[in-house]
Amino acid sequence: MATHPLASPPNVTTLIASEDPEAPTPGPRRAFRSGLEWVAVVVVALVAAVLVKTFVLQTFFIPSASMEHTLNINDRVFVNKLAYDFHAVHRGDIVVFTPTATQRRIIGPGIDDLIKRVIGLPGETIQGIGDHIYINGKPLNEPYLSTGVVPTAGAVPLYKQKIPPDEYFLMGDNRGESKDSRYFGPVRRSQIVGRAFVRVWPLSRFGFI
């Protein structure tokens, strides 16, 4: 008597896969979940950017000629806001600081932040004599100044004075066009936002400063 082949059993693999909780979700659900993931990525990126700008690194725009030719009008620089959490403020550093209300009145309206170079440190005596600046009675070497710039140039003389503790005497590299500590006095450490360390724009002038 002829025998009949047994009917094939159900596709066990297919049945199990259809009940697998890790199986791919249907199209609309997958798209929704993917959308949430992208939203999360964007939010995290924005938060990170805000934190970096607030606490670590910020770009500043140069609006005036006071730092020429180290920094020209429309240049942009990166400022390290954490620099002075790890080391002291050094002579020659280029710093961004926030002027006080009194300093703003001297500088003029519309100024939120200024960028200048550190010339005198706390406790030092600074004075302009002839064409040179003297620190504690010794002439200051300023190789960063452009050829022909007179270190003491400006409408306000650099009178002999002792810089108070925790304060810094700041000046622009373009001495004749800079309203600086000669006009509004030394700047407190707490006013300093950070140290400018690299010029990022224009690209043709990209480099450390």
Q: What is the C-alpha to C-alpha distance for residues 81 and 65, in angstroms, rounded to an integer? A: 23
Amino acid at 59: T
Q: Locate the DSSP E strands across 42-171.
A: 57-61, 76-80, 94-97, 114-120, 125-129, 132-135, 138-139, 161-162, 167-171
| 53, pLDDT greater than 70 | no
Per the residue annotation, which of 81, 116, 178, 181 is the catalytic one?
116
Per the residue annotation, which of 34, 53, 64, 66 is the catalytic one?
66
Q: What is the C-alpha to C-alpha distance for residues 38 and 98, in angstroms, rounded to an integer? A: 38
User: What is the predicted pLDDT for the residue at 42?
Assistant: 57
CB 142 within 8 A of CB 133: yes
Sign for the CA dihedral angle at 24, 25, 31, 35 comes to: negative
The verdict on whether 66 is a catalytic residue reads yes
| 56, pLDDT greater than 90 | no
The verdict on whether 8 is a catalytic residue reads no
* Residue % of the chain over a pLDDT of 70: 76
pTM over 0.85: no
**Region for residue 177 given its phi and psi (left: phi exceeds 0; alpha: psi -120 to 50; beta: otherwise):** alpha
More confident call, 162 vs 24: 162
Question: Rounded mean pLDDT of the chain?
Answer: 84
